[in-house]
Amino acid sequence: MTWQALMKEELERLRQADIPEADSDIRLLAMDVAGCTYSTLILRMAEEVTEKQAQRLHAYVTERMTHKPCQYILGTQEFMGYEFATAEEVLIPRPETELLVEEACRIAENWKDTPDGRKRRVLDLCCGSGCIGISFSKLRHGRDLVELADISDAAIALTKKNRERLQADCAVIQTDLFMQIEGKYDMIVSNPPYIRTDEIPKLMAEVRDFEPHLALDGKADGLYFYDKIIREAREYLYEDGYILFEIGQDQLDAVRGLLVENGYTDIKGIKDYAGLDRIVTARYLKSCVQ
């Protein structure tokens, strides 16, 4: 059997199982089995596959038919040009989250030297796989002191794994939000759980049945972690320090309101590639708090 025939056969299995984006999934899975890029695979379509390759792709597709995400099947996900390891107990990095890293880097590029010559400190809170903080550190070439924090054992283990595989100079802290955090930061970035509890059963099967609810559930109104982080972060931000969040598409006004109530200023919303509200940035000015 040729690659073309095998992929056609396995693609039909994905379609019959109502797998979303089946065409792109079969390409991704076949690329892993063939060990090459898709452009190279196209040139090999008339080649015969080995029995081992056919069995491996068939097994991948069988897993995918259960709606298990390809990122968990293959164990990796590209983010900001870096290949991150994934784990089933940890949220998969999303393309829209790259906007959070891009905005954090944009802000950092405008930083001037501190009066005392210290390095800037950056905290990635609720770090999950570590994709935000590690990417920021890599893109900034280690100019800042970056710390990544999460409550989950699995997230901490995966972040450490990604730190090593990408050779990032970051500290990793296991903590329930700020409980084990010390000192002040120039920037806090966070992609906290923000799905309303009653919305989780309505999510697509790939998310609902396979991704960790601990990383999704933002409690009844989806704002629990924003409210808590915004209030507590005031003790951990330097004067004029920045806070950046990823948000749900309908949460901009609510998160902006929480920021205003707690003395933050220069609040800005940023839309994602689909034109939906996705990122919020703000500065904390203690002198403005009444």
Residue ranges of the binding site for S-adenosyl-L-methionine: 150, 191
- Provide the CA 116 distance to its chain's centre, in angstroms: 33
> In whole angstroms, what is the distance from residue 247 CA to residue 194 CA?
7
Give the orientation angle of helix 22-34 with respect to helix 51-64, to 10 degrees.
140
Q: Alpha-carbon dihedral of residues 79, 226, 177, 164, nearest 10 degrees?
A: 0
Contact 28, 7 (CB under 8 A): no
- Output phi, psi for 228, to 5 deg: -70, -45
CB 152 within 8 Å of CB 215: yes
Distance of alpha carbon 255 from alpha carbon 261, whole angstroms = 10
Question: E strands within 135-263?
Answer: 145-150, 170-174, 185-190, 237-246
Amino acid occupying residue 191: N
Binding-site residues sit at: 150, 191-194
Give binding residues for substrate as ranges.
191-194
Kind plus residue range of the DSSP H or E element containing 5: helix 3-16
How far is 175 from 227, CA to CA, in rounded Å? 18
